[in-house]
Homo-oligomer: A and B are copies of this chain.
C-alpha cells in the first residue's frame, strides 16, 4: 500500500500517518520526494478497513499494491485447476463444451436438444429450471419439474447437467439434480448464495457480473474457495458498455488476463456475450483462440419459439457448424475437444 500525502502536507500530518500505519501492525517507509511525500507500507495490507486511512489528515489517496484475493491466485496454487465431471473436462489441454437451451421448456424440447448437442460433440448439457428474469412478467422456469427433465436427459445421454441456482434455500434441491451449479451474473456478489453453493462440494460455474472487474470476480470466487470447494470455473459472459451492436461486450482479454492471475479455468459464454445468433460462432472461435478452457452455448430446436433468449440461440445445425469451427481453432492452439476418458471426478449427482 502506498499512502500518497497531499502536496502541502505538514510534518505533523506525516508523523500522524506514520503512527496510524504502525497501529495497523504495518511498517511505514516515508519517502520525501521533490513534489510530495509518500509513505510506502510494508506488510499484508489486505482488509478493506485499511482503506479508511485515506481519511487521514493530509492524505491525498491510498494505492493498494497487493492483489486483494489470496487462494484464487496463481501464486497460492501454481498448478492449474481442472474441473471434471464425467465427459466434461475444463482446463489445461481440454476444451469443455456445455450446450443446451436457455430454459427447460418441455421434455421433448430438452431431450431433443440434449441428443443434438451430444451428437455434435458437447460434453455437458445446460438448461435453466429456475430462471432469473429481468421482468416479473417473463417465463420464470419450470422449477423442480425442469430439474426432473434435465435428470432424464442425463440418464439418456450421459451428459452431466449444468443448471442455475438463484437463492440459498433452493441449493439443496438444485444440487440433488445438478452436476454443476451455475451462479448467474446477477448473483455474482450474492455472498450467501456463493457460500451455500460452495458448501455442496459440487463444481460451480461462476459468471462474471456485467459490471465486475477481474479482482471482484476473483474475490467472489474466493467466497466459494473458502468453503473448501476448489471446483470453480469462472465465466466471461459480457460486460455492460456503451456499445449497441451487441447486448453486452464480450471482453475476451479477460481470458488470458485471468490465466495470468488465477489457477481457475475460464469458460466463455458467447451467447449472452453477444445477444445475437449470427455472432455466436465467430465469438466462440475467438474465445478458443484467446485460450478459453470451455464454452457455454445456447441451443434450441426452434429459436423463434423459445420462451427465452431465442434471439441468441443456435439451431442444431448452427451448433454443428460452430463445433466444426471451434474444433479446428482448438487444434491450432493446442486444445482438444475429446471427451474426458479418465475421470478425475465421477458423475456424483444421481437422483436417489
Q: Beyond A55-B277, A240-B240, A243-B251, is A48–B135 a contact (Cβ under 8 Å)?
A: yes
Q: Which of A55, A253, A310 has the most CB of B within 10 A?
A: A253
Question: A213 near B244 (CB under 8 angstroms)?
Answer: yes
Q: Per-position contact with B for A117-140: 1 when CB-CB < 8 Å, else 0?
A: 000000000000000111111110
Inside 8 A of A244's CB, which chain B residues have their CB?
213-215
- Spot the interface stretch: A84-92, A147-155, A182-190, A340-348: A182-190
Contacting pair A63 B325 (CB below 8 A): no
Residues of B within 8 A of A54 (CB): 310-311
Considering only residues 266-317 of chain A, those with a C-beta below 8 Å from chain B are 273-274, 276-279, 282-283, 285-291, 303-311, 313
**Interface flag for A321 (CB, 8 Å):** no
In the complex, how many angstroms separate the beta carbon of A323 from the nearest chain B beta carbon? 13
Contact of B307 with A279 in the complex, beta carbons under 8 Å: no
Q: Evaluate whether A43 and B33 lie within 8 angstroms (CB atoms) in the complex, with A190-B190, A245-B254 already known.
A: yes
Residues in B with CB closer than 8 Å to A278 are 256, 260
Comparing A107-115, A161-169, A199-207, the segment that makes contact with chain B is: A161-169
Q: Does A143 contact B (CB under 8 A)?
A: no
Q: A7 interface residue, CB < 8 Å from B?
A: yes
The 3 closest A-B pairs by CB, nearest first: A52-B310, A211-B211, A54-B311
Can you show 8 pairs from A to B with CB atoms below 8 A apart? Answer: A34-B43, A52-B304, A52-B307, A52-B308, A57-B304, A135-B222, A168-B169, A211-B211
